[in-house]
Structure 1
């Protein structure tokens, strides 16, 4: 009888601990029954990554790509948080630069300086322009049926407006 008393006391103590852990007590009338396969629930939060630049303006989207472009170099970072692109374009310099001027104004660039020269089969032009706070220098020229355009854009007017070949 002594052995059975210890086993019964141990079982009663274990049942009391389990009931206390589950928020109930033995004899309180509360019971919890669990059946089936245990499951695990995971919650995952996904957020979209964003990229920001110091400029706060997507300068590349402000620079039009000329029609008949054979090759584009850049964009390359330049001084004052600007970008530089170089376009090698199939077409006479006068025609290409006139079409590029139309593309600039079509993208809401306001021309500040419009300078062009040429004759015969050669020529070129330089356009200085603003687009909101952005500032750009677009210079191109060539000979025959080839034209090179250097395009630079900055988030605001730079101290140095050099947009030469880089």
Structure 2
């Protein structure tokens, strides 16, 4: 008769009883290492799509296992970026405003943020009713955080 144990502990074992009634136990120890996922699909789940998006480009792979997306959004840059900051915070991003400004119908903002070990750069700007938003997210902060605009 064989009895196998399996569960949430890092230690599992198997006990075997022989017909004579003696028991032999073999124990196997396993180690589980938790590490952040760096797949593009997992990173994409951390990026909200702005309201009013008319086009999304990407995700494209970038340096240090990151991804880049570009959103073309209907709406003034100030309104779009303010709403995007709120959306990021709603998805558990700790957001830092690196720059923000506007005037004469144009404007924009650049945010950086962390979500667990993940690091993001969110750079948006435009004029009047259209905003371009470039988003780059990495599994951890890269040495080069440049998230350039597309041409």
TM over 0.5: yes
Q: For 1:70, which of 54, 58, 76 is the aligned residue?
A: 54
* Aligned: 1:116 with 2:91: no
- Higher strand proportion, which one? 2
Counterparts of residues 1-166 of structure 1 (less than 5 Å): 55=38, 58-166=42-150
Paired residue total? 114
- Higher helix proportion, which one? 1
Q: Which runs of 4+ in 1 moved over 6 A?
A: none
Check conservation: 1:54, 1:81, Cα contact below 8 A: no
Q: Secondary structure at the residue paired with 2:45?
A: helix
Q: CA deviation at 1:54?
A: 6.6
CA distance in 2, matches of 1:111, 1:165: 20
Q: Secondary structure at the residue paired with 2:50?
A: coil
CA distance in 1, matches of 2:124, 2:101: 11
For structure 1, list consecutive stretches of 5 or more residues without a partner in the other structure.
1-52
Structure showing greater Rg: 1
TM-score, normalised to structure 1, is 0.65
Q: Secondary structure at the residue paired with 1:62?
A: coil
